[in-house]
Amino acid sequence: MPIPVTICDDSTLARKQIARSLPENWDIEVSFATNGNEGLAAVKDGKAEVLFLDLTMPEMDGYQVLENIFNQQLNCLVIVVSGDIQPTARERVMSLGAIAFIKKPSDADQIAMILEEHGLLSETTKVVNQSIDELKQSSIPLRDSYQEIANVSMGRAAELLAKLLDAFVVLPIPNVNTIEVSDLQMALTAIQSKETVSSVCQGFIGNGVSGEALLIFNDSSFQDIARLMKFEGELNSNVELELLMDITSILIGAFLKTFAEQLDIQFSQGHPKILGQHCNIAELIKPENVTWKETLAIEIHYTIEGYNVSCDLLILFSEDSIEELNHRVSFYSS
């Protein structure tokens, strides 16, 4: 009898990568779920003796799915596949009953080893599974691919920040859009409250791709950041600037490095520059000073669990980079 397996992830690219990583001789019947609600329903319907589960999803996230499986004592073996590789994330899912934690993108050898360890992999003739074959051959929307690539990059940056602060970084679903530069101020205003902010920008370029990375930090966050970093002196503008540059170095550096690695790009990064301290967000960027007409924007809102810390990482790719980026993303997703 085939083993019922469900792959639960809101990203089409992630579902495709997991499906490709499954052993070809594994006798299974595969279903797909695009959010936690669908994943939990698949478990209850007997379609998920094994569940490959993402953590960051809309409607119901992976933690909530695990909590429901654990509390309701549902019959399901859960393998978490996530871009959030913080040690705390792993500890939490294992405490909720997951049998393994795999970082994205999924690895075929690691999956096979986990399945064998738990007696789930038996040698059979090659199994033809129509749903998997259709997914493997399907094309992935560019926006979905960008979102998943950003998700992995976001998780790596969060892991480093979590180690620095000894705290848990709450990760969102990355927001990816192509916008007119003339609308950039409106987009920036939408991602921040009326509080004053401080911001750093850093240029990057490589392999026909260039852009600017912006870190926008709520000024109300500085007290808690100082507390997390065990700073006990007077919190003045120079100290705040030093804290801001430390966070910038981690979030921008780690994100761009991981993003570039996935697309076989090598970025050179310029020196970080202060856009403003304790200012209104509308003062950060003046569209008339930007030579691009259009930008591909990736926006990630980071918060720290249990603390009043909030910042936005905004990656803006130049207009003439989009064609090269789309080509590389399409190749990566094929």
Q: Same domain for 197 and 111? A: no
Q: What is the CATH number of the domain that holds 294?
A: 3.40.1550.10
Provide the residue range defining the domain that includes 292: 142-333
Domain count of the fold of the chain: 2
Q: What is the pLDDT of residues 121-177, one digit of tens each?
A: 865 544 556 666 666 667 889 999 999 999 999 999 999 999 999 999 999 999 999
Regarding whether 124 and 48 lie in a shared domain, the answer is: yes
Contact 313, 251 (CB under 8 A): yes
The tens digit of pLDDT for each residue in 233-250 reads 899 999 999 999 999 999
In terms of DSSP bridges, do strands 169-170 and 294-304 run parallel, antiparallel, or are they unpaired? antiparallel
For residue 319, pLDDT over 50 is answered with yes
Q: Is the predicted pLDDT of residue 7 greater than 70, yes or no?
A: yes
Calpha distance 74→69 (Å, rounded): 5
Residues 174 and 204 in one domain: yes
Which H or E element spans position 81? strand 77-82
Computed on alpha carbons and rounded to an integer, the radius of gyration of the chain in Å comes to 21
Alpha carbon distance 165, 247 (integer Å): 10
List the structure tokens of 254: 């780690």
Q: Residue 192 — pLDDT band, cuts 50, 70, 90?
A: low
pLDDT of residue 254: 97
Together in a domain, 131 and 218: no
DSSP 256-294: HHHHHHHTT---EE---EEEEEEE-GGGT--GGG---SE
Residues 310 and 284 in one domain: yes
User: Do 128 and 230 fall into the same domain?
Assistant: no
Q: Kindly report the CATH number assigned to the domain that includes residue 46.
A: 3.40.50.2300
pLDDT digits (tens, 9 = 90+) for 53-109: 999 999 999 999 999 999 999 999 999 999 999 999 999 999 999 999 999 999 999
Share of the chain above pLDDT 70, in %: 91
Q: Of the candidates 101, 136, 171, which is a domain's last residue?
A: 136
CA dihedral of residues 115, 112, 122, 22 (deg, nearest 10): 100
Judgement on whether residues 114 and 157 belong to the same structural domain of the protein: no
Lowest mean pLDDT of 46-50, 182-186, 233-237, name the range: 182-186
The Cα–Cα gap between 84 and 302 comes to: 12
Q: How far apart are CA 330 and CA 334, in angstroms?
A: 6
Average pLDDT over residues 267-295: 82
Do 124 and 202 have their domain in common?
Answer: no
Residue 205: is its pLDDT beyond 60? yes
Mean pLDDT score of the chain, rounded to an integer?
91
Instruction: Look at residues 136, 159, 189 and tell me which one is the last residue of a structural domain.
Output: 136
Beta bridge pairs of residue 213: 202, 315
Same domain, 328 and 233: yes
Out of 109, 136, 163, pick the residue that ends a domain. Answer: 136
Pair 168, 81 in one domain: no
In Å, how far are 28, 97, 103 from 50, measured between CA atoms? Answer: 10, 13, 17
Q: Are residues 291 and 255 in the same domain?
A: yes
Characterize the bridge pairing of strands 273-279 and 294-304.
unpaired
Q: What are phi and psi of 213, to 5 degrees?
A: -110, 130
Q: Is 194 in the same domain as 109?
A: no
Report the pLDDT value the prediction gives residue 331, as an integer from 0 to 100: 92
Q: What does the pLDDT average to over 28-42?
A: 96
